[in-house]
Amino acid sequence: MVLSNTTLGVFMAMLNQSIVIISLPAIFRGIHLEPLQPSNIGYLLWLLQGYMVVTAVLVVTFGRIGDMFGRVKMYNAGFAVFTVASIGLALMPFSGPVGASTLIGLRVVQGIGGALLMANSTAILTDVFPPSERGMALGFNIIAGVAASFIGLVVGGLLADVDWRLVFLVSVPFGLFGTVWAYLKLHDTGVRRAARVDVAGNVSFGVGLVLVMVGLTYGLMPYGGHAMGWTSPWVLAELIAGVVLLVAFVFVETKVEDPMFHIDLFRVRAFAGAGVASLVANMGRGGLQFMLILWLQGIWLPLHGYSFESTPLWSGIYLLPMSAGFLVSGPLSGRLSDRFGQRWFTTGGMVLASVTFLALVGIPVDFPYGLFAVLVFVNGLGVGMFSAPNTTTLMNSVPARDRGAASGMRATFMNSGFVLSIGIFFTLMIIGLSAALPDALRTGLTSQGVPLATATHVASLPAVGTLFAAFLGYNPMHTLLGPAVLHHVGAAHAAVITGHSFFPSLISGPFHKGLEVAFVASAILCALAAASSWWAGDAGEVRRPGVVGGHNGGSEAALEELAAELEPSVIGGGGTEPLVVEEDDPDSLPAGSGKRRR
């Protein structure tokens, strides 16, 4: 019951991220707003990023509140908030900038619901399933979320062709069912402890992370004649202030009586190693998803005769082998890691992902699809091997009373990794395009009869517009040149300029250089995740006397807490017999009971 309900919640939350990515062209057409206009790029970025920014910021806070007041209550609230926001998005009546702002605001509300779901679902599963079955349960849950991020590409493409409102409406039946089902069937079984709300920690963490995410988002926008905004005083101020507040958060958490997050958990090797591995792996994987979409929509599909308007749907279809890889390896690796430990699966999965990234560098821009499908399938296998065992390592390494905060921190690693990846990989791609695209555009346009002044003007426009055109499935030649110029060059040249192959052929060279840099960066990030996973080792059910958390991922802090809470007579019956903890839940041992649990 718990596994199926939490899997539905995570699937719905993750589906909503990618379903909007692929439907952005239809959404902007529906609200009558041109996304490639410089003044509208901010709306585009926030519709793309807003949901992920909100979930990244709030999951730790919501996880900690779940520890204090009940994880199921918070999880149920997430279903309800998410569903209400989905209804509001589907019924939004405005158009133009007002409509875009309203959609962004409702996406923020939807992100709050998603954060409530993601922050508590993993902790609820960890409460319910014993260590011998936990990897299997987390495997189904996590891979459902990962698969949803790719299934959403296909579903979004299909629904957006009918009506953009269906993109948001599709979540409503699942949300209503999940809300009622969770309320009736789920009950809290985890450890609860009364504590004060850590106001200083919540504020410093939340505001700090918001500033960093906002700075990363606006850093992608043109500023002062530059292709990007990394030199903007506002962007620099946001990034610096955000980092300062996050550093202050670490200091605050070591001083307050009831911290939002126990910083001491990072002293546990399994938790720290698994957390770092999750962050850098999601940075690499997030970059992969966006780079592959750009590659397919901007170059490969148009070169193979697909209309620009149809490329969002078909890019989702052609990426299905990657989802198949996730679905094959995710639950299986979770189940096997319960028996054989997590280290080999987490490390091997990231090594496999790193190798496939390097292999993707070596294939041509106009690749044979069979080779591409094999590579992305193997990449999906690798990430699937990693995901569930990584989460099992992280969740097994913390005391039961901190599972909500740990689950929230895990979701923060995941969502922050995605947001960071967008900033990093879009930046790398824009740098590559800015260096080579202007000359390619100028030469290509003048060869088709476009006046030199017009070609030079178009070539000097920020490369971010060209990048987003490829990402959204737009042919920017119509917008950039306009009907007057196209009429001037004549029907034959106009047909070539606005055809399937002209724009992709122009950007393929500069684009591939950016792809090479991005995929090499992803390979390095996955290699770092593999090294961190090996260092983290295994964290599972305790088998040795006097150790809590497993032979390699053991939490000495948890052992000290246990010893402090139990009466001296409980431990060893006077000190002659060692206490053997067979459970992962040290807080379940009743203080002062006079009994030893084996």
- How many other C-beta atoms can be found within 10 angstroms of the C-beta atom of residue 274? 33
Residue identified by tokens 């100028």 is 442
How much is the pLDDT for 99? 92
Integer angstrom CA distances of residue 248 from 235, 254, 260, 470, 471: 20, 10, 13, 40, 38
Residues of the chain where predicted confidence (pLDDT) is lower than 70: 36, 38, 189-197, 227, 260, 287, 404, 467, 469-474, 539-598
How much is the pLDDT for 572? 32
Buried b vs exposed e over 277-312: b needs ≥16 C-beta within 10 Å?
A: bbbbbbbbbbbbbbbbbbbbbbbbbbeeebebeebb
What Rg value do the Cα atoms of the chain yield, rounded? Answer: 25
Q: In three state form, how does the secondary structure of 30-87 look?
A: HCCCCCCCHHHHHHHHHHHHHHHHHHHHHHHHHHHHHHHHCHHHHHHHHHHHHHHHHH
Q: Which amino acid is at 320?
A: L
How much is the pLDDT for 91? 93
What pTM did the predictor assign?
Answer: 0.74
- For residues 125 and 410, the answer to whether their CB atoms sit within 8 Å is no
